Amino acid sequence: MPAEPLGMADATLGFDLGGTKLLAALLDGAGRIVAQQRIATPDGAPARVIDAMATLAAELAARAPAVVARAAGIGFPGLVDVARGVARSSVILREWREVPLAAQLSQRLRLPVALDNDVHQAARAERAVRGAAERDFLFLTVGTGIGGALVLRGELWPGAEGLAGEIGHLSVDRDGPECACGRRGCIGVVASGGAIERQLGLAKGGLAAAAAAGDPRVTAALAEAAAALGGALASAINLLALPLVVVGGGVVELDGRFVAAVEAALRRDAMAEIGAATRVERARCGYEAGALGAALHARGVARSASE
C-alpha cells in the first residue's frame, strides 16, 4: 500500500489476468483510474497474453498521454513466486508453468513489473479504498473458487510461499469432493460458485443465469454455501480475532442476503466474544479490484527502482 500520501506517488499500470478476461487499468499519481480496457484472455501460449498486455498498455497510453506509467503490476490467477516474478501454475490457465511473467512483460514495456496473485492484488485495492481506519481484515473472493488474503496493519501478509489467507483450502469435510490441491472437502469445493454448479448439475458458468431466472434451488444452495463459509470463517476468526471480513466475487452479487448470512453463521460458530466483535462486509471494489490493486502494488516497485 502507498506509504506516502496519495498524489506523491507515480502513475502505474495494472493488469488483472483472468481465465476469460484480461483487464488493464492506468492509474494516475492520485490513485485514480484514468483509462481502462477489458478484452477476452487470448487462448494458447503465455506469449500471446504478454503480447496482448503490451498492446493494451500502448492503447491506454494513447488514450491518456498526460499520464505516463512508471511501473506495472499484474494479478495472476494462480500460484506465484512474488520475489522472482514467476507465474508458477494455475488451475484455470493450464498452459502456464513457471513463466517468468514479470521479466517478460518488463522487457516489452521497458518498465519495472510487480507480480502477485489476483486475490492479493484485489485485497490491496480494498485496503486502499477503505483507507487508514481499516488496517486489519481477512479478504475473500467467492467466485468459481474461493480465494483469500490477509491484510495486517495495513499490509498484505504474504506468509510462507505467499499462501497466507488461503481460506479456500480450509478443510470442512474430509469425505467431501476432491479439490485441485489434492485434498478433499476444502471450503472452496463445498461453498463456491463452481461447487454450487456441480451440486445442481448446471453448466460451467451457468449459476448467474439460474439465479437471475429465480431458480429456488439456487437460493437454497446459496444459503447453504453462506452457512458453510461462515462456519469455516469462524475457525479463522477464532484464531486471528480480526475485526473485519470482506467478501467479494461473483457469487456475492447473486443474492443480496449472502453476506449477512455469512456473518450470521460466523457469529453462530465463533467464540461469542470474538464473533460479536467481527463484521462481515461486501467488498467495496468491483470487477476492477484486481487491476487497481496490481497498479497500486506497482507503485512500490516504481519507488524502489528510482532509489
- With contacts defined by CB under 5 A, name the span among 128-136, 167-175, 192-200, 266-274 that binds Zn ion: 167-175
CA-only gyration radius of the chain, Å: 19
For residue 210, state whether it binds Zn ion (rule: CB under 5 A): no
The least distance separating Zn ion from the CB of residue 185, rounded to whole angstroms, comes to: 8
Measure Cα distances from 277 to 149, 157, 282, 297 in Å. 20, 21, 17, 30
Q: What is the DSSP string of 10-56?
A: PPEEEEEE-SSEEEEEEE-TTS-EEEEEEEEPPPS-HHHHHHHHHHH
By beta-carbon proximity to Zn ion, the closer residue of 14 and 188 is 188
The helix/strand/coil state of 75 is strand
Q: Enter the DSSP assignment of 90.
A: -
The helix/strand/coil state of 79 is strand
By beta-carbon proximity to Zn ion, the closer residue of 114 and 150 is 150
For residue 169, state whether it binds Zn ion (rule: CB under 5 A): yes
Q: Grid coordinates standing for 260?
A: 449477512
Q: Grid coordinates standing for 303?
A: 519507488
Q: Grid coordinates standing for 250?
A: 461473483
Q: Identify the residue among 23, 186, 251, 296 touching Zn ion (CB under 5 A).
A: 186
For residue 179, state whether it binds Zn ion (rule: CB under 5 A): yes
By beta-carbon proximity to Zn ion, the closer residue of 152 and 172 is 172
The least distance separating Zn ion from the CB of residue 104, rounded to whole angstroms, comes to: 29
Mutual orientation of helices 258-269 and 216-240 as an angle, nearest 10°?
40
Q: In 10 A of CB 44, how many CB atoms?
A: 8
Rounded distance between C-alpha atoms, residue 270 and residue 264, angstroms: 10
By beta-carbon proximity to Zn ion, the closer residue of 181 and 241 is 181
The least distance separating Zn ion from the CB of residue 130, rounded to whole angstroms, comes to: 28
- With contacts defined by CB under 5 A, name the span among 150-158, 172-180, 194-202, 271-279 that binds Zn ion: 172-180
The least distance separating Zn ion from the CB of residue 140, rounded to whole angstroms, comes to: 14
The least distance separating Zn ion from the CB of residue 115, rounded to whole angstroms, comes to: 23
Rounded distance between C-alpha atoms, residue 35 and residue 222, angstroms: 35
By beta-carbon proximity to Zn ion, the closer residue of 33 and 172 is 172
Instruction: Give the closest residue to 190 by CA, choosing from 229, 246, 164.
Output: 229
Q: Identify the residue among 1, 79, 181, 240 touching Zn ion (CB under 5 A).
A: 181
The least distance separating Zn ion from the CB of residue 176, rounded to whole angstroms, comes to: 10
By beta-carbon proximity to Zn ion, the closer residue of 198 and 284 is 198
The least distance separating Zn ion from the CB of residue 195, rounded to whole angstroms, comes to: 11
For residue 190, state whether it binds Zn ion (rule: CB under 5 A): no
Q: In 10 A of CB 159, how many CB atoms?
A: 12
- The Cα diameter of the chain in Å comes to 58
Give the number of residues in contact with Zn ion, rule: CB under 5 A.
4
Q: Grid coordinates standing for 175?
A: 469425505
- With contacts defined by CB under 5 A, name the span among 64-72, 180-188, 215-223, 224-232 that binds Zn ion: 180-188
**Pattern 124-163, Zn ion, x by CB under 5 A:** ----------------------------------------
Interacting residues with Zn ion (CB under 5 A): 169, 179, 181, 186
